[in-house]
Amino acid sequence: MTDAALTARPGHALVGRARAPGDKSMSHRALLLGALAKGVTEIEGLLEGEDVLNTAKAMRGFGATVDQLGEGRWRVEGQGGFSEPSDVIDCGNAGTGVRLIMGAAAGFDLSATFTGDASLRGRPMGRVLTPLGLMGAIWMGRSGGRLPLTLKGGNLKSIVYRLPMASAQVKSAVLLAGLHAEGGVEVQEPEPTRDHTERMLRAFGVTVDVTDTPDARIVRLDAGQSLTGTKVRAPGDPSSAAFPIVAALITPGSRVTIEGVMLNPLRAGIFTTLQEMGADLTIENLREESGEPVGDLTACYSALKGVEVPAERAPAMIDEYPILAVAAAFATGTTIMRGIGEMRVKESDRIALMANGLKACGVDIEEEPEGMIVHGSGQAPKGGARITTKGDHRIAMSHLVLGLAAQTAVTVDEPEMIATSFPTFHSLMADLGADISA
């Protein structure tokens, strides 16, 4: 990393309209399913962050033709499957990308070596490799299944797999492998997770059956199905939209509208929680794009109050807890966030980094093994700290948002990592009136 830093300074109301960048989860999946499909897939609204661009490069490595036609407009021509790559597949910082790609690759008779940046090489892959191994895939690499590793696919057998943790990535990897497994697959989810893979597989012509039972959601996919190229439009990413939304809620005098935000109920937990905290947050122009509910969100400065977030909501907002903790720092009363141990194995230990950063800014926060408790005073925190982000984009953006409404400026290190998920963050926030600069 470089010595670059960004500082967010308070004192400016945020006003205006903007469009959230394309949804990261859908962007990964659109490229991947387009590469697996036979024929041409046209994508609009693709997020052109580093993580997604690494997935595009990986799809080329597996034999697909992937071309950028314009801003957010891409064309993928697949051959109906993967061929063996001639080089290492480097997924950079993309945890979603590598886990889904490994699932898809496991269905083919090939060997592929996967690696990533320092952060990704430290993240657990065993959760995906375990079910793939039960299906017959073979992997060789570091202990714990950490990258780099080599995966040998082909001749997969059917599996009924109950997720040991709420993870759409694991579910998706099993479903993608199941496309070429003898007998298909069944995934049992004790807690429903984001269902973008199921929705998008249907758009590509695949039948996916979903049944809710008293103790699990059952997702079944029969083998032998083929994908046909289609048109995909990626709506705005709710994870990205949450940053300007929270910034408006905590900055006096602000009124911000973010257009075209995905409102899939398995992704929109952050907005439900903010409304429960008393946020003046309205949704208009509800519509559907590529099978996903979409709307325009308007947020106005609000007097927030602390709440206890239901633990079962965590899968619908696991990436948004850092920015929720910032909102909680400005609220009156205590906000309890539990059942979020997954945060410790993201790009960083997000519970520890948020606790450290907020404490440095004068916030009363308790760190638990699988949770955080923020005691808000109803006043703007003092700020004034330089935050260590460990190269985590969401830690950086969350503290920059805090700095826009704190008593004094907040600085974050390693801000270049923001480009992995939200390459237009700085310009979008500046257009709304935010004072963020080096």
Q: Does residue 319 have an active-site annotation?
A: yes
Neighbours of 19 (CB within 10 A): 17
Neighbours of 20 (CB within 10 A): 27
Q: Which residues contact 369 (CB under 8 A, 6 or more apart)?
A: 341
Here the tokens at position 396 are: 């950086």
Q: How far is CA 413 from CA 73, 138, 270, in A?
A: 32, 39, 26
Q: What is the helix, strand, coil percentage profile of the chain, to 5?
A: 35, 30, 35
User: What is the DSSP annotation of 251-287?
Assistant: STT-EEEEEEEE--TTT-HHHHHHHHTT-EEEEEEEE
Q: Which amino acid is at 63?
A: G
Q: Which amino acid is at 393?
A: H
Q: How far is CA 339 from CA 191, 209, 293, 348, 393, in A?
A: 12, 28, 27, 17, 22
In angstroms, how far is CA 326 from the centroid of its own chain?
A: 18
Contact 390, 322 (CB under 8 A): no
Element (H, E) at 189: strand 181-189
268 phi, psi to nearest 5 deg? -95, 20
Here the tokens at position 53 are: 């661009």
Q: Which of 237, 319, 392, 413 is catalytic?
A: 319
Catalytic residue positions, numbered: 319
